[in-house]
Homo-oligomer: A and B are copies of this chain.
């Protein structure tokens, strides 16, 4: 019996690659490479800082990933350019079907939450920008536990905040590492096969594999 749904934010509700238009405008011909490397390093640094017990918030980790990506492409970034690009993270586009999916699920009486690596300020901005603030019952950042997904503490805080056993919370993510972490943790997981239809070889199988957020409406019963 699903009593709440916890959505991953970046890549699942929000399109992390919606920064590409500004990247292309600023660095013509390099947007695809920059966007992919920015995202890869953002994630790598979140995992490595967690492992090294050297937490910095996701805003700082996201900036570090951007700086790495720019330098890698031979760009010596000016501080103003970095701030301009970081600003895009506060107004990422929601994935096209996300508003309709959230509204339909809300109408069914399921509690809706975000479970994200993002810092509280980042999440507040991007949620408000998409108009999701009136649809969500909770926006849960890993920041209070100072470790990123897929560490169990990042999932503990979801269970604790919602006050429900993991088995009653449908966890929704497009990110393979998060699908594995949440599945091992004990959530029923719906993997949105948006980023890739190729599963990570981490030994954990999600309960559901679907293509769109709107496919959740049927799953939520």
* Measured CA separation A53–B48 after assembly (Å): 14
By secondary structure, the A interface counts as helix
Interface residue stretch chosen among A25-33, A63-71, A211-219: A63-71
Name A51's contact: one of B41, B151, B198 (CB within 8 Å): B151
Which residues of A49-86 are within 8 A (CB) of B? Answer: 49-54, 56, 64-65, 67-68, 71-72
Specify which chain B residues have a CB less than 8 angstroms from the CB of A150 in the assembled complex: 48, 51-52
Closest chain B residue, CB of each to CB of A154: B51
A200 at the interface (CB under 8 A from B): yes
Specify which chain B residues have a CB less than 8 angstroms from the CB of A177 in the assembled complex: 44, 48
Instruction: Count residues of A near B (Cβ-Cβ below 8 Å).
Output: 30
A132 at the interface (CB under 8 A from B): no
What copy number does this chain have within its complex?
2
A160 at the interface (CB under 8 A from B): no
Q: Are B52 and A180 in contact (CB under 8 A)?
A: yes
Specify which chain B residues have a CB less than 8 angstroms from the CB of A47 in the assembled complex: 44, 47-48, 51
* Measured CA separation A67–B67 after assembly (Å): 32
A221 at the interface (CB under 8 A from B): no
Given contacts A53-B152, A152-B53, A201-B67, contact A180 B41 (CB under 8 A): no
A181 at the interface (CB under 8 A from B): yes
Query: Can you identify 23 A-B contacts, CB atoms within 8 angstroms?
Result: A41-B201, A44-B44, A44-B47, A44-B177, A45-B200, A45-B201, A47-B48, A48-B150, A48-B177, A49-B202, A51-B151, A52-B151, A52-B152, A52-B184, A54-B202, A54-B203, A56-B203, A64-B201, A64-B203, A65-B201, A67-B201, A68-B200, A72-B198
